[in-house]
């Protein structure tokens, strides 16, 4: 009787713990309503390109011939970068094969472009 109750409680705790792991840590720490992006290149835009885009946009076989490694390359392709991230109709949706990125991630690029694409 008592053992059964303990087991049920233990199972409930395990289920809650496992569900907790599915929460995207970034969403939890920075919900969309608190997007603190300032549009800095080095701190925001380049790290985003590095994690979400660079693997396919480097070297001789870069996707669409678009290189997204350096400041100059990202600046040159900035308009297209933003429209692909926004899944605009006239370009291929990026990152290829993945769902649209978080609004706060897209906003980093938008703010950087709006701010004049500084190398900051
Ligand atoms: C899994 C590989 C992959 C990833 C990750 C990826 N791309 Fe691409 N990208 C491609 C390929 C391949 C193409 C060529 C067009 C196509 O096949 O859809 C392309 C094309 C593009 C183009 C040209 C689109 C056009 O219609 O002219 C841009 C700009 C671009 N990618 C930006 C990005 C950005 C920004 C990211 C990250 C947010 C990204 N890509 C992530 C593979 C990738």
Model pLDDT for residues 46-61, shown as the tens digit of each residue:
999 999 999 999 999 9
Given a cut of 90, whether residue 34 has pLDDT beyond it is no
Ligand 1 atom 2: the closest Cα is on which residue? Answer: 56
* Whole-angstrom distance, CA of residue 68 vs CA of residue 70: 6
* Whole-angstrom distance, CA of residue 41 vs CA of residue 47: 8
What are the pocket residues of ligand 1 if the criterion is a CB atom closer than 6 Å to any ligand atom?
A: 52-53, 55-57, 63-64, 66, 77, 80-81, 84-85, 91-92, 94-97
CA of 10 to the centre of ligand 1 (A): 46
When pLDDT is cut at 50, 70 and 90, the band that residue 8 belongs to is confident
CA–CA–CA angle 74, 75, 80 (5° rounding): 75
Atom of ligand 1 nearest to the CA of 91: 26
Weakest-pLDDT range from 5-9, 76-80, 87-91: 5-9
Atom of ligand 1 nearest to the CA of 55: 5
- Residue/partner pairs of 100-106 with CB below 8 Å, 24 or more apart: 101/52, 102/26, 102/27, 102/32, 103/32, 103/35, 104/30, 104/32, 104/35, 104/37, 105/48, 105/52, 106/82
Picking from 5, 23, 49, 93, the residue whose alpha carbon sits closest to that of residue 58 is: 49
Total Cβ atoms within 10 A of residue 48: 20
What pLDDT was estimated at residue 27? 57
């Amino acid at each position: 009787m008592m053992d059964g109750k303990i087991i049920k409680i233990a199972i409930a705790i395990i289920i809650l713990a496992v569900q907790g792991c599915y929460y995207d840590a970034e969403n939890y720490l920075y919900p969309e309503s608190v997007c603190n992006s300032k549009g800095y290149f080095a701190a925001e835009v380049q790290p985003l390109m590095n994690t979400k885009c660079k693997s396919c946009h480097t070297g001789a076989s870069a996707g669409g011939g678009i290189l997204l490694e350096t400041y100059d390359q990202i600046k040159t392709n900035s308009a297209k970068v933003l429209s692909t991230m926004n899944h605009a109709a006239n370009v291929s949706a990026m990152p290829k094969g993945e769902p649209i990125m978080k609004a706060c991630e897209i906003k980093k690029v938008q703010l950087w472009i709006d701010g004049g694409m500084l190398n900051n």
